[in-house]
Structure 1
């Protein structure tokens, strides 16, 4: 219940304050969101499997976001930012879909 309350409060703050993302940060934000979603779905899967650990989740969440953004940053510096961005999206997308499939199998016993 606490995570849902935190999500609602975070969305409300975002809607009220309407923050602007700095121009230099805009290429990294979508990748950071996808990396965060990967950690969230991994946490849900771990909860359903009965192996969730809050410390592991926090470290996974933060490290996923930092590593994904760093890979895109390196790609930008090398002049291949769009290719590395696509690679990160594909890898994290596969992980997200694998976690969602596991969650679905767990919930629907299918």
Structure 2
């Protein structure tokens, strides 16, 4: 219940305050969000399958986001940041759809 309340309060605060990110974060935010969604869907999948571990989730979440951002940073430094950013989003997108499919199968097989 506390988690849902915190989520609602966070969304309301974000809508009312309208925070903006600095321009230098623009290349990194999309891949960070996609990496976070990938980790969250992986956690949901593990929860339905009964293999969820909170420590593993926190490490996976932080490391997925950090690796995705570092890959985009490396691409920016080498001179092809847009291409590497697209590659990261495609790979994480594939993982998101795989997790969503497994989650759907697990939920439908319980009925």
Q: Give the TM-score normalised by structure 1.
A: 0.94
User: Helix, strand or coil for the counterpart of 2:19?
Assistant: coil
Find the counterpart in structure 2 of residue 40 from structure 1: 40
Gaps of 5+ in 2: none
Residue 4 of structure 1 deviates from its aligned partner by 2.7
Find the counterpart in structure 1 of residue 65 from structure 2: 65
Find the counterpart in structure 1 of residue 6 from structure 2: 6
Gaps of 5+ in 1: none
User: Helix, strand or coil for the counterpart of 1:42?
Assistant: helix
Q: Give the TM-score normalised by structure 2.
A: 0.93
Residue 20 of structure 1 deviates from its aligned partner by 1.0
How big is the alpha-carbon RMSD for the aligned residues of Structure 1 and Structure 2?
1.3
Find the counterpart in structure 2 of residue 94 from structure 1: 94
Residue 34 of structure 1 deviates from its aligned partner by 0.2
**Structure 2 Cα separation of the partners of residues 26 and 20 of structure 1:** 11
User: Helix, strand or coil for the counterpart of 1:27?
Assistant: coil
Residue 8 of structure 1 deviates from its aligned partner by 1.5
Number of aligned positions between the proteins: 110
Matching of residues 16-55 of structure 1 within 5 Å:
16-55=16-55
**Structure 1 Cα separation of the partners of residues 2 and 91 of structure 2:** 30
**Structure 1 Cα separation of the partners of residues 73 and 100 of structure 2:** 28
